[in-house]
Structure 1
């Protein structure tokens, strides 16, 4: 049988699409892509391993011809890569005004993905297959994983620029501190729901650890004045000698120049009265 005849027979088993009524066969369409990808997901959910899937079996499950599958994907690994991409959904739109709020939004997005049991289970199965193909894994990482990582790192860089995050911290490690607890909870405690408060709790705890320390309050300076013996003598000489005036006035002279209340003996008259 010629290739054209095979293609014609393959097209005959496909679902109707947006082709014009007068045209034979059908053009490549998004409907066929979706049918094939959904067929792979159903087969995996039904317990089939990636190794057990053949292009023929996938085509049969999708209700299309094998040639239709091969026109879109050269082999099974390339198809599995697109199946993985189909499970990915766009990340959140970040407000860009609050580092904390943007971090909570990113982690909330991951939390909601973790609640999707179907996509989580399928991704684990598909990742184990694609990771065995270094080129395919690199392509998936560059087109899906890296974009998410860059969104998180972008928020952290903004936090460093505005003083909310210390400048001496490695941002790749800080990013792991945000994502790690969420992934650990999802993988190690699959039977437990991820609480709604988890993203905010993680963000607040990590930010507390990477936030710059508040400047210490400085105590006011105290100036120490050294007082010498000479200083005390100068002060004593500044006190007037009242002994001669006391004698002329008929008063008993006070004992000693500059005698104060504290220096007088009890009962001794002085200018301040009896002590």
Structure 2
């Protein structure tokens, strides 16, 4: 099954390009641009909440619901996959900001963000519905993995690598393997055991327990 719009050749059929506004007009128009993007996001989430399957969410239908032209959407996103990924990001908690002051604290921050995402996904019928469908669409799943999951995974591995360089984590282990040891318990409780508790303090407990076993050997 494809997410591509049937018979939709792309933005070249959406009418002539609008003239470029003057610099001052661009500055004045920025809030309106943000409002347009929000209207598009609201259209996508509204249709999904109504139970419209991903396969039936064409750019044309989204544009009609948002009250904009198809060209308006294509100017911002190359296709539905990119738009859907950004909509998902808009309803998830923001990515954490690491201070870099402490490897332990940065790991806790990363895992706490993962815990919060698990709670949001449990509480959001929209996210639960979308994720249950998304893996059936390889292009969308790949786009989400590349633009959302992979950057977060690299952030975790960079933190682990810093811990190895500072002598806080054994450096005779594979970085990716060590990163999996930290995030594994959270993923287990959010994916494999969705009914398991995600209590406050879980991130600290996981980080401190794993770090205790990963201290460099004498």
- TM bin, normalised by shorter chain, reads 0.7 to 0.9
> 1: distance between equivalents of 2:49 and 2:154?
32
Question: TM-score normalized by structure 2?
Answer: 0.73
Gaps of 5+ in 2: 1-13, 19-23
**Aligned positions of 1:133-172 closer than 5 A:** 133=139, 139-172=143-176
- Residues 176, 51 of structure 1: alpha-carbon distance in 2 compared, 3 angstrom cutoff: same
**Aligned positions of 1:1-275 closer than 5 A:** 29-116=33-120, 117-118=123-124, 120-121=127-128, 124-125=131-132, 127-128=134-135, 132-133=138-139, 139-213=143-217, 215=218
Question: Shift of residue 140 of structure 1?
Answer: 4.2
- Structure with higher Rg: it is 1
> 1: distance between equivalents of 2:32 and 2:135?
30
Question: TM-score normalized by structure 1?
Answer: 0.59
- Residues 77, 144 of structure 1: alpha-carbon distance in 2 compared, 3 angstrom cutoff: closer
> 2: distance between equivalents of 1:153 and 1:55?
37
- Once the two structures are superposed, residues 63-118 of structure 1 have per-residue CA deviations (whole angstroms, 9 ceiling, x without a partner) of 33444334434543343233234345543232323222221111111111211132
Q: Root-mean-square deviation (CA), in Å? A: 3.2
Question: Number of paired residues?
Answer: 192
> 2: distance between equivalents of 1:46 and 1:182?
31
C-alpha contact 1:166 1:211 (8 A) present in aligned 2: yes
- Residues 128, 157 of structure 1: alpha-carbon distance in 2 compared, 3 angstrom cutoff: same
- Once the two structures are superposed, residues 245-265 of structure 1 have per-residue CA deviations (whole angstroms, 9 ceiling, x without a partner) of xxxxxxxxxxxxxxxxxxxxx
> 2: distance between equivalents of 1:139 and 1:77?
7
- Once the two structures are superposed, residues 174-200 of structure 1 have per-residue CA deviations (whole angstroms, 9 ceiling, x without a partner) of 111111210110123334541012111
> 1: distance between equivalents of 2:96 and 2:81?
29
- Residues 147, 76 of structure 1: alpha-carbon distance in 2 compared, 3 angstrom cutoff: closer
Question: Which of the pair is proportionally richer in helix?
Answer: 2
- Once the two structures are superposed, residues 123-181 of structure 1 have per-residue CA deviations (whole angstroms, 9 ceiling, x without a partner) of 51464255x11xx6555444332321222122212211222111111110111111121
Larger RCO, structure (CA 8 Å, separation 6 or more): 2
